[in-house]
Amino acid sequence: MSIKPYLPVIALAVCAFLLPPVLTAAKSAFYLTQLTMSAYYALASLGLCALMGYAGQISLGQAGFFAIGGYASSFIATRNLQAIASSPLAKALDLAGLLSRGTDPYGVALLSLSPWVSCILAVLLAAAVAALIGMPVLKLKGHYLAMATLGFGLVIEKVVRGTKALGAADGLSNVPGFPILPGLVVTGGKAARASNFTISWVVLALALLALVNLFRSRAGRALRALHDGEEAAGANGVDTSRYKLNVFILGAVFAAVAGVLLTHYNGSIGPGEANVMKSVRYVAIVSVGGMANLTGTLIAGLLLNFLSLRGIFGSLDDAVFGIVLIFVMMLAPEGKAFGHSFSSFLRRKGRAG
């Protein structure tokens, strides 16, 4: 078995453990915060890469699923169940270890569902919504699919922005940390900075590993085949509707997991995460990464988000991603922006000029 397809996974895992001490020694540990956030955005991009790059189904609703994950988990984890603490249901949940206790910033005692419960429910909700939306919408192709998923993204944005229970324009805050393992909590704050960077990059490495495996397997091959022609894929026994739905749900789950983890890391989420411009970003990242190219998407996702979070693009932040998209579509709509087709484009121009 060749190790080459797994090199990016190994590189990510090595960075996950190596970068914190290195950056700390270089007195630049503050970068870890943005690198952690970039990892979660890159995770959502990887999900879209599977859907769009490999299976050829565009979605302008990826931010919607990200937001569903983040909002659902925050909403559930911040419900104070103190009022029903003595009810049999609450007692049963407590016995099962599904409740967690804390105090809010004003010292009021809190009793809430454990973040484990809220996270799992949030991801399941995103998967269910994806299944519900995907079934009718994935019958569409090309521009029509783009429009329909854009519509979905707009609806989610308007819903979170307009719902009081979800904090309307302010979003939800005071989201508790998410203890994944004893002593390992997804949460902000300086003390947890290095460990959270490691968590996020390990999660990203595992997600990448799963996708590398997938696209070297029977199901991944079927997805690539349906990208190249649904008629031929169907004639070879691929249930194209089911495969499209499955990969749509897979992409949504990746986005939701990213949304959940970033929200618990930040301790808050706002309607900006559901903004359609965020979906455009994910599409731009997959495109500039070379479409059916997991490593390209990964690098583009980490790099562009890191630069954006560092504020390099200033007030042109969204514009940069729009411009990236325009250039990719002009130069290499089929992908390989940094590989063969981009260089052949330059050669062609060179000869013409």
Partner 1 sequence: MSILQVSGLSRSFGGLRAVDGVGFGAEERGITAVIGPNGAGKTTLFNLISGSLMPDSGRVVFDGEDITGLKPFRVARRGISRTFQTVKLSRRMTALENVMIGRHVRSRAGFASGMLASPWAKKEERSIREEAMKAIELLGIADYRDKETGSLPFGIQRSVELARAIAAEPKLLLLDEPASGLNVRETRVLAELVSRIRGRGITILVVEHDMSLVMDISDEIVVLNFGKKLAQGKPREIQANREVIDIYLGEDDA
Binding partner 1 by CB under 8 A: which of 83, 95, 228, 353?
Answer: 228
Piece of the chain touching partner 1 by CB under 8 A; list 90-98, 103-111, 138-146, 228-236: 228-236
Site string for partner 1, 263-292 (x = CB under 8 A): -----------------------------x
Binding partner 1 by CB under 8 A: which of 124, 224, 325, 345?
Answer: 224
Instruction: Note the helical H segments in the chain.
Output: 7-25, 31-48, 62-77, 88-95, 115-137, 142-162, 193-214, 218-228, 230-235, 240-266, 276-288, 294-309, 317-331, 340-352
Piece of the chain touching partner 1 by CB under 8 A; list 89-97, 194-202, 227-235, 279-287: 227-235
Residue 238 or 255 with smaller CB distance to partner 1 = 238
Q: CA angle at residue 48 from 210 to 295, to 5 degrees?
A: 55
Task: Using CB atoms within 10 Å of the CB of residue 106, give its burial: 0 to 12 exposed, 13 to 18 middle, 19+ buried.
Answer: exposed
Per rule CB under 8 A, is residue 298 in the interface with partner 1? Answer: no
Per rule CB under 8 A, is residue 138 in the interface with partner 1? Answer: no
CB of 242 to partner 1, least distance (A): 9
Q: CA angle at residue 278 from 224 to 162, to 5 degrees?
A: 125
Per rule CB under 8 A, is residue 239 in the interface with partner 1? Answer: yes
Collect all residues with Cβ–Cβ distance below 8 Å to 17 and sequence separation of at least 6.
Answer: 198
R_g of the chain, CA atoms, integer Å: 21
Per rule CB under 8 A, is residue 200 in the interface with partner 1? Answer: no
Collect all residues with Cβ–Cβ distance below 8 Å to 24 and sequence separation of at least 6.
Answer: 194
Distance CA 259, CA 352 (A): 47
Per rule CB under 8 A, is residue 235 in the interface with partner 1? Answer: yes
Per rule CB under 8 A, is residue 2 in the interface with partner 1? Answer: no
Per rule CB under 8 A, is residue 218 in the interface with partner 1? Answer: yes
Binding partner 1 by CB under 8 A: which of 28, 174, 236, 343?
Answer: 236
Distance CA 273, CA 264 (A): 14
CB of 247 to partner 1, least distance (A): 8
Short-list 168, 120, 146, CA closest to 62: 146
Per rule CB under 8 A, is residue 220 in the interface with partner 1? Answer: yes
Binding partner 1 by CB under 8 A: which of 42, 185, 233, 328?
Answer: 233
Distance CA 333, CA 124 (A): 33
Nearest-10 crossing angle of helices 142-162, 276-288 = 140
Per rule CB under 8 A, is residue 163 in the interface with partner 1? Answer: no
CB of 254 to partner 1, least distance (A): 11
* Residues within the interface to partner 1 (CB under 8 A): 210-211, 213-214, 216-222, 224-225, 227-229, 231-240, 246-247, 250, 292
